[in-house]
A and B are shown apart, each in its own frame.
Chain A
Amino acid sequence: MRFRAKIADIGCLNHFTRMINTIAKLTKTCTLRLTVDKLYFILSDKVANGGVGMWCELSQGNFFDEFQMEGVAAEHNEIYLELTPENLSRALKTAQNAKAVKIKLTNKNCPCLTVAVELPSLSSSSRVVTHDIPVGVIPRKLWKDFREPAVPDFDVSIYLPVLKTMKNIVERMKNLSDSIVMEANLNGDMNLKIETELVSVTTHFKELGNPPWVSENGSQGSTQERDPESMVEARIDIKKLLQLLAGQQVNPTKALCNIVSKRIVHFILLHDDVSLQYFIPALA
């Protein structure tokens, strides 16, 4: 099992740092899956995680100048690691004006993801800072827990408004209520609602647009028969929604969400080479 990668371009480094920061804001621990051409940051939707799931996919070619990996065996050429993204985020924070950053899988008393940062210095040789981030190696028999989640059989799919606007609204709503109702229809309308004994607040968004989903398995069926005006809703934990909106450091080119009535809200954020999916289960 080997892994070694290098980033030399400052733009790529900043982009990668922002991605890691975003992930660190979403979850305390996650699984890092490495394949020959992609990196995945995964949080499986177990009850222990409050039913929240995350799937983030990065093409290594868009970030790394060098990327070498070798899995346990040729036919299973992958590596699965348990990682605290906060540590990686902290390590990269010290690399802001780095000349190059290397990330390696090493064995130092415990398995580590070693981040070596080459910094400019006043002397002839450059200064090197290394961060050894302890990781857990996930054995092959557990890999099946980390499959890509299927797009749920949603009732409504809708583009999201500018995330910053949404964040500002949800932030204020958070002071009033613990849960928020997200509802949307096929006419491009979305409402964010909170209802408490004392107050009801609703923010209406119009003409957001509904993304066209190509039918594969008949999931479109239920969507097409639906009355475009009728709202589909799911009540979710407002803190989890805010975590996603506030932690955003990558300005996505496309952001949408799929709502399964009273069951789950599935967010998809796309930014050319990166996709982040986030699942928030509906509250009972």
Chain B
Amino acid sequence: MKCIVTGGNVKALGKAVHSLSRIGDEVYIEPLQEGLSLRAVNASRSAYACFLFAPLFFQHYVPVESKSVPDAGPVRCKVLMKSFLTVFRSLSLLEKTVEKCLISLRFCASMLRVQLHCRYGVVKTHDLSFQECESLQAVFDTEQCTHTLRAPPRLLVDAVVHFPLTLAEVTMGASPGGKVSFRSYLEEETEAGRTMVTELCLSEDEFQVFHVKQETQVTFCLKEFRGLLSFAESSNLPLNIHFDIPGRPAIFTLEDPLLEVHLVLATLSEPDSHSSQMTSCTPKAVASAYDFTSDDIDAYMIAMETTCAGTEGASPSPSPTFPTPHASSDTEDLDSDPEGTVPGTPPQKKFRSLFFGSVLNQSQTLMYPGSGQEVLAEDSEGES
């Protein structure tokens, strides 16, 4: 594989790497006929991102070397995110000094070479060791999502900026009435009563597309979303949000003739069971946000005793990693998951690893001849 990126596209590539670095520790590189794909997934497999750069994005793009071994199959590899990010660390420097970026996969040397051709004839060459790997492909379909929103990135950046950086998850609510709200998601008991809750409402007319069939609330991780937003803002591409019932993944996409981006985030299942506090105060909070202009004075007699939320017994949550190999049907497995809704478990555990099911099941015999542990061992060897 060999490709050359020039001009402003170098910065776009750099931005994409920064965005991916918010998600996983490794970047999966796969040169395809339809373009170069960079992908990442997080440790708990609840977030997945894919950047597909079309051949037109490059000045020169050759996905497969002609003299490569015929039955080697498609070329795929993964490199450590940290080393890959180092190459593109300073975006301003990329913009100012780099004229051309050359990426080549050298199978004979087991090296991914990234060459930055800078001003004054300076050439920086980074040779990164890589590991061969299977294709990383999340299972999702935007067509199956009931609701769609499209907004200029600026709108969502302005919305998200109000939330503290320490906040892990945010709940997005949308109603057919034309309101979209973002609200801090707090874990019950531990934080309720001590942590500030922030809520923001946006109206329909700020969105370019607003297809919401029924009132829905989904909770997803904020860090990865912020990463994508920062990319969307720099490229000024409108962001599409496809979502469905809680527990189904939310899919964020950017589309351009040169570039296609997908971010898939797991959402917390069953919003009405994760906390009695959430459901009880959500309608109230929404109301208060709407009646900003009304001048009635709220007369609340403050209850002195702290209300205790329902203490349902917490049982161990299912493994957040791979679904069990013998699961008969993935979709069934996704929908019926009583354990995934247990309140009071750490957030990443509540997110279901939704996307890898079918790929793993199909190619399981190829990829993972034994257990998952063996694969982990293989990874660590490759780094030496």
A102, B296: Cα distance in complex, Å:
12
- Once the chains bind, are A108 and B161 in contact (CB under 8 Å)? no
**Chain A residues whose C-beta falls within 8 Å of the C-beta of B205 in the assembled complex:** 123-124
Within 8 A of B (CB), among A68-111: 68, 87, 90-91, 94, 102, 104-111
Contact of B196 among A68, A106, A123, A132 (CB under 8 A): A132
Report whether A116 and B288 are in contact in the complex, using a CB–CB cutoff of 8 Å. yes
CA–CA, A109 to B199, complex, Å? 15
In the complex, what distance in Å separates the CA atom of A109 from the CA atom of B281? 6
Could you tell me if B292 and A118 are in contact, using CB atoms closer than 8 angstroms? Answer: yes
With A130-B288, A131-B197 as contacts: A105 and B202 at CB distance below 8 Å? no
B201→A127 contact, CB < 8 A: yes
Q: Are A106 and B300 in contact (CB under 8 A)?
A: yes
Q: For residue A139, which residues in chain B have a CB less than 8 angstroms away from its CB?
A: 304
- Known A-B contacts A122-B206, A131-B198; the reply to A1 vs B288 at CB < 8 A is no
Q: Most chain-B CB neighbours within 10 Å: which of A2, A118, A129?
A: A129
Nearest chain A residue, comparing its CB with the CB of B200: A129
- B302 CB-CB contact with A under 8 Å: yes
| Alpha-carbon gap, A179 to B196, bound state (A) | 35
The answer to whether B285 touches A130 (Cβ under 8 A) is yes
Contacts of A134 in B (CB 8 A): 192-196
Q: Does B284 contact A (CB under 8 A)?
A: yes
Instruction: Please tell me if the beta carbons of B280 and A107 are within 8 angstroms of each other in the complex.
Output: no
Question: Does A12 make an interface contact (CB < 8 A)?
Answer: no
- Report whether B206 and A121 are in contact in the complex, using a CB–CB cutoff of 8 Å: yes
Given contacts A123-B206, A127-B201, contact A110 B193 (CB under 8 A): yes
Contact B306 A110 (CB under 8 A): yes
A116 and B289 within 8 A (CB): yes
Cα A219 to Cα B214 in complex, Å, equals 72
Question: Given B162, B302, B304, which contacts A94 in the complex, CB threshold below 8 Å?
Answer: B162
Tell me if B203 counts as interface (CB < 8 A to partner A).
yes
Interface string of B160-188 (1 = CB under 8 A from A): 01101000000000000000000000000
Size bracket of the B interface: 35 or more
Closest to A116 in B: B292
A134 smallest CB distance to B (angstroms): 5
Complex CA gap A118/B162 in Å reads 12
Q: DSSP majority for the A interface? A: strand
Given known contacts A94-B161, A105-B300, A109-B307, A128 and B201 CB-to-CB distance under 8 angstroms:
yes
B201 near A105: Cβ-Cβ < 8 Å: no
Known: A121-B206, A132-B285. A109 touches B192 (CB 8 A): yes
Q: Are A111 and B302 in contact (CB under 8 A)?
A: yes
The answer to whether B304 and A108 have CB atoms under 8 Å apart is: no
Chain A residues contacting B298 (CB-CB under 8 Å) are: 2, 4, 104-106
| A106 / chain B contacts, CB cutoff of 8 Å | 288, 298, 300
Answer whether A133 and B196 are a contact pair too, CB < 8 Å, given A109-B281, A121-B206.
yes
B285 near A131 with CB under 8 A, answer no
A131 adjacent to B288 (CB under 8 Å) = no
Q: In chain B between 283 and 332, which residues have their CB closer than 8 angstroms to a CB of chain A?
A: 284-285, 288-290, 292, 297-304, 306-307
- A114 at the binding interface (Cβ < 8 Å): yes
Chain A residue nearest to B301 (CB atoms) is A1
Cα distance A12–B298 in the bound complex, in angstroms: 24
Question: B111 to chain A: closest CB distance in Å?
Answer: 47
Residues on A with C-beta less than 8 A from B304 are 137, 139
Is B277 in contact with chain A by the CB < 8 A criterion? Answer: yes
Contact B300 A110 (CB under 8 A): no
Residues of chain A within 8 A of B300, CB atoms compared: 1-2, 105-107, 111
Which residues in window 319-366 of B have CB below 8 A to A? none
Cβ of A125 under 8 Å from chain B: yes
Minimum distance in angstroms from B249 CB to a CB of chain A: 27
B203 with A125: CB separation less than 8 A:
yes
Task: Tell me the complex Cα distance, A134–B277, Å.
Answer: 13
Whether A110 contacts B203 in the complex (CB less than 8 A), given A91-B196, A130-B198, A132-B285, comes out as no
Contact A109:B280 (CB < 8 A) given known A123-B205, A127-B201, A133-B196: yes
Interface residues of A (CB under 8 A from B): 1-2, 4, 68, 87, 90-91, 94, 102, 104-112, 114, 116, 118, 121-134, 137, 139
If A1-B301, A108-B281, A108-B284 are given as contacts, then 12 extra A-B residue pairs at C-beta distance below 8 Å, sorted by A number, are A2-B300, A91-B198, A104-B288, A106-B288, A106-B298, A109-B307, A111-B303, A116-B288, A127-B200, A132-B199, A137-B302, A137-B304
Interface residues of B (CB under 8 A from A): 155, 161-162, 164, 192-203, 205-206, 277, 280-281, 284-285, 288-290, 292, 297-304, 306-307
- 26 A-B contact pairs sorted by A residue (CB < 8 Å): A2-B300, A4-B297, A87-B196, A90-B196, A91-B198, A94-B198, A102-B292, A107-B303, A108-B285, A109-B192, A111-B302, A112-B197, A116-B289, A123-B203, A123-B205, A123-B206, A124-B205, A127-B201, A130-B199, A131-B198, A132-B197, A132-B199, A134-B192, A134-B193, A134-B194, A137-B304
